[in-house]
Amino acid sequence: MKVSLDKLERKLGYTFNDPDLAVLALTHRSYGGRNNERLEFLGDSIVNFLIAEDLFRRFPEAREGQLSRLRARMVRGKTLAELAREFGLGDFLLLGSGELKSGGFRRESILADTVEALLGAIFLDSGMDACRERVQVWYASRLETLSVTDQHNKDPKTRLQEFLQSRQQKLPDYELLSVEGKAHDQTFRVSCHVQGLDSTEGTGSSRRVAEQQSARRALVALGVEVEE
């Protein structure tokens, strides 16, 4: 593992004082009882905080909802897995035989969790400043291309989903309430159910349009966006 760890450390831009922490961060639960789940828990909180801190400073005029959506994009599993692939992390994972056979070293969730675990390991190894430095380097190109205004190009359903994900809340449910009118001129009425919020309704010439309107009204009710 020593040779492999040296190669990984070069990719990460960080050398561990305690190599055992790095090995633990790379150990999936399928490999054995002592695995990276606790480090993943720690790293998840750290990356959320550090990305939030960067966005807070980077966009001083952005509203809370805008910052939440940007953070959700940066810390979602897809983005973390992209980082993992850039590090070639799949080559260093310690997986059980079943996960190896099923291609676990390519699985997005495993790759994303391992990035978080490595960040948790770096925190225990060297503290928050070391984590902050690594996150800023790892995310540099992604953070530099972010724009608060770009978020408004996304449809309301996507914006609502990303906001709820950033809060680790249950995703919304949409219910078709009624369809009125003749086949060529129908009006759809849909409700959007968000946990902890009164249902919002939308109407439109298609179910999709009605869902978008109900999602938009949910964002307003949550205080994320203002009524236009």
Query: From the annotation, which residues make up the binding site for Mg(2+)?
Result: 40, 113, 116
Side-chain half-sphere of 31: how many Cα atoms within 13 Å? 18
C-alpha 75/C-alpha 71 separation (Å) is: 6
- What tokens were used for 170? 């249950």
Rounded to the nearest 10 degrees, what angle do helices 37-58 and 128-138 cross at?
Answer: 70
DSSP string, 71-112: HHHHHSHHHHHHHHHHHTGGGT-B--HHHHHTTGGG-HHHHH
Q: Which residues are catalytic?
A: 44, 116
Report phi then psi at 170, rounded to 5: -65, 140
Contact 208, 185 (CB under 8 A): no
- Distance between CA atoms of residues 118 and 66, nearest Å: 28
Position 125, amino acid: D
